[in-house]
Chain A
């Protein structure tokens, strides 16, 4: 299901909300199949930048290309056949079942008079299976836990059969296990993914490429080990950071503490 992944190229993207510039002149490239993490403090423009990609906010200037095609020159429907997203504002409180919610992912593939076909049903089944939520198909969406809901919304995005996945802080409000389950799941999808993340440790461990934003501008971009340096983290986030290897997984690990924290026995990398 889905295409192998597309190359995403944002060039010179500027975004304003009610005239106020929030994001200025951002360049970003996600190679096919890469997971690109957007990191930065609150208000640095991560969500606003993502809105220009999932077409909730038109960039004031700049171009967003998917494999060379201008995302904002497509119709809204066509764009939604290439790019799916899990946003933060989602509010399904109307009694839709999990299957109904996932089937909504077929919306951009359907004309005004089209009915759901057995092919659509298979795509929905497949999407639920990929996020391991098949058992919940007939449950009411709102009766699920936060982690389960995020997986269902991810299944809805997969049912769109996108080549680009956009995630806006997908681990927000989830307990620690649900966060790790979701991040592991995202890695298995092999889709070009652009995701905003708050947790620097998660960003370091799960992303192929990071883009660090401050006040709407890119401060640094590159592999996690290059972007996440103690000096830069101290400068942008105002916290003391220690880079090392995760004692359990061996992945890149970011430990943080307040700038004023006493330095205990620090072991080098």
Chain B
């Protein structure tokens, strides 16, 4: 086309690089693989330490001996009491903390991409408050309240029922709008929280303490069988999400924008919703309503490795696991022999972070 003049003479080309260093990519160029390896090593070390520390302190050597003996099937070689404390009590507890941290952090990354809102967390869809209602019903009225289901089973069931309600409320035509999803989730959260409060008022003071621990999250009751479902769910969904990291990146740029890149947007949104709901429900059912992990870990991860989900998802999984293992360690060492719910500590750390995040974002759209 001869009538084209890309840059007319007499005016500067719009290609002059303005040197605003602070507007450049803030994320350091840490290779993701190296970061994941370092975090994994730290996680293993934290798990061993968390198993060693407690009312009865165990030397790290003994912890290692017991765990490796059970993993390899060899003779344990320590006294039965130590074996029981390490293998039957503390190891599942610490592993559940790791699974719950990983699951909630990954669900948070997934949901923030899905609803394109930096203040979204896995609880914004009402899944946690839905789970709480089922758990509190059983904790207050016994397992007869929900057809003989245990606390975890009841929590899982009501979480899924709540999600189904949110899903139906948010859907309009064939589209699942981000804003409608959040609003439906918040409204449902209020409704189920009201029901939970009503049930709580009928509980005895004895039951109230258990309810309190459940609502704020705790891994103290962990057993090996209880780890099965969350372990499978966390591993499978994480792998599924990492394979779709490119699509998640595209989705954060907008529905139409993602559609032009060949992403089947509506199907992906439904899949992501199901995946994050499954993750959240599987974790909350066994660990209770641990707050703030799903909000703060994704943001910390993005500050370190940037917004690309190919990096953010694995780092969030390992980072979330490490964080909750350390928090659980804190809840039982700060004031022994008393233990505190996880939510007290994650919130104590999370709320200031949240406020800082809000301040940092004051010039932007939120």
Contact = CB atoms under 8 A, between A and B. Distances in A.
A110 B263 CA distance: 12
Interface string B226-267: 000000000000000001101101101111110111111100
A127 interface: no
Contacts of B5: 184
B311 to A, nearest CB: 11
Interface stretch (A6-14, A138-146, A210-218): A138-146
A202 interface: no
Interface in B12-51: 13-17, 20, 23-27
Nearest to A109: B262
Nearest to B364: A93
A93 B365 contact: yes
A30 interface: no
B116 interface: yes
Contacts of B256: 51, 54, 56, 85, 87-90
A91 interface: yes
Interface stretch (A95-103, A193-201, A219-227, A255-263): A95-103
B6 A188 contact: yes
B262 A135 contact: no
Nearest to B307: A94
B57 to A, nearest CB: 44
B308 interface: yes
Interface residues of A, number: 57
Given A89-B255, A107-B247, A140-B24, A135 B261 contact: no
Chain A contact residues: helix, strand, loop or mixed: mixed
Given A77-B262, A85-B260, A138-B25, A112 B243 contact: yes
B306 interface: yes
A72 to B, nearest CB: 12
Contacts of A84: 260
Contacts of B261: 80, 104-105, 107-108, 160
Given A97-B25, A112-B244, A92 B260 contact: no
Contacts of A135: 15-17
B20 to A, nearest CB: 7
Contacts of B362: none
A147 B14 CA distance: 10
B1 A54 contact: no
B249 A134 contact: no
B1 A187 contact: yes
Interface in A152-172: 157, 160, 166
B173 interface: yes
Contacts of B307: 94-96, 100
Contact of A78 (B20, B23, B262): B262
B246 A132 contact: no
A144 B302 CA distance: 20
Given A97-B25, A184-B4, A185-B6, A90 B257 contact: yes
Interface in A218-245: none
A54 B259 contact: yes
Contacts of B15: 132-135
B17 A56 contact: no
B172 interface: yes
A166 B256 CA distance: 12
A18 interface: yes
B172 A18 contact: yes
Given A95-B302, A184-B4, A143 B23 contact: yes
Contact of A188 (B1, B16, B306): B1
Contacts of A1: none
Q: Nearest 5 CB-CB pairs, A to B?
A: A80-B262, A108-B262, A143-B23, A85-B260, A77-B262
12 contacts: A55-B260, A87-B256, A89-B255, A91-B253, A95-B302, A95-B306, A97-B25, A105-B261, A107-B246, A112-B243, A132-B13, A187-B3
Given A135-B15, A139-B23, 15 more contacts: A56-B265, A85-B260, A90-B253, A91-B257, A95-B307, A96-B249, A96-B307, A104-B261, A112-B244, A132-B6, A132-B15, A136-B17, A140-B24, A147-B14, A181-B14
